[in-house]
Amino acid sequence: MTISDVTLDPYDYDFHEDPYPYYQRLRDEAPLYHNAGLGFWALSRHADVHKGFRNSTTLSNKFGVSLDPASRGPHASRTMSFLAMDDPDHLRLRTLVSKGFTPRRIRELEPRVTEIAVEHLDSMLEIARDTGSVDYVDEFAGKLPMDVISELMGVPKADRTQVRAWADAVMHREDGVTDVPDSAIEASLNLIVYYQEMVGQRRKQATDDLTTALLEAEIDGDRLTDDEIIGFMFLMVIAGNETTTKLLANAAFWGHRNPDQLGPVYDDLERIPLWVEETLRFDTSSQILARTVVGELELYDTVIPDGDVLLLLPGSAHRDERVFDNPDDFVIGREIGSKLLSFGSGAHFCLGAHLARMEARVALAELFKRIRGYEVDEANAVRVHSSNVRGFAHLPMSVKVR
């Protein structure tokens, strides 16, 4: 059920600028889309994406969840941990990791997240005062999530700038690059070596951090191997850092674009979680996730063969008028609930969802305690170019300090 003049190219810069008109056409004209050139199928309607996330038998994660050829394959779990596994391996590793990565640990981290946010905000607002403008991503949204992950893992403060630079390099793509560039592979290796040394140190001397908690996690004598711990740490850097940075910048951008919606938030910070949820729906960081068909799958009178790649498009699902009223309007406080697919659904539901929401809530609350308004310099905003995440590399703004 495909229509030849509807196109979806996750590497196209025009698509990165605004994917939503493309998604609209896919939902209406080709709800099961096939791109023979790039070798994938795609589902764009909310009901289909939701079902896809919950189908972990016919739709496999074991070759990874990215379309990029270098990230796909039987080795994917080395850097994507249990996100690139099926049960029973997935369940075993996720259950062990959950022993260390607990809701309580996240709750206890909140005062420290607030301190880190305040630290970065103080220097961001100082730059804004001195120069009249500041890059919100460079000075705040790009720093906070990686520092929080480093805090959680126990990366010393002195190393955090370097670790953040490596993490950024892992994700960066130049125009027209449809695979993982050498610079990203080098950055990945640097991170892995760094975390290997860190795990080695914790084996000799335990500390009160997630790295030690993962080393100590045990169920009936089963423990995580060093490689499994490093794989999970790498997943946190890629999935946890990148998507939360994008969430914070997307929230700022769409808040700026919708001042009528944002106005009440200044006077009632309790509305911040609603602002976060609507940002996750309206323009989610995580737009495209890949699965591999096992056996065969029949959808829309079409049989998708064994081994083919099927993309799930939560970015499109969230704009589906079959599920949301006026989905192209940014409405803080709309009813979303379980219809949100930013963190997936089913067996692979994002383990870090509560961490991402807490970080975003704390970051935006601390920002709004300090400012009374801001203007984004849209002409100089720069989008990230990635085949699966959406957000800003640079978001310059002027701010009115309270």
- Per the CB < 8 A criterion, the answer to whether 336 and 282 are in contact is no
Q: Is the pLDDT of residue 1 over 80?
A: no
CA distance 381 to 384: 10
Residues 6+ apart with CB under 8 A from 163: 146, 150, 155, 191, 194, 237
The whole-number average pLDDT for the span 172-181 is: 67
pLDDT digits (tens, 9 = 90+) for 272-316: 999 999 999 999 999 999 999 999 899 999 999 999 999 999 999
Domains by residue range for the chain, with CATH: 13-401 (1.10.630.10)
CA distance 332 to 188: 37
SS3 333: coil
**Is this structure's pTM higher than 0.85?**
yes
pLDDT digits (tens, 9 = 90+) for 336-395: 999 999 999 999 999 999 999 999 999 999 999 999 999 999 999 999 888 889 999 999
Strand order in the sheet with 59-60: 32-35, 40-43, 309-312, 289-293, 59-60
- Give the pLDDT score at 5: 79
CA distance 385 to 172: 7
3-state secondary structure 337-400: HHHCCCCCCHHHCCCCHHHHHHHHHHHHHHHHHHEEEEEECHHHCEECCCCCECCEEECEEEEE
- Give the pLDDT score at 6: 87
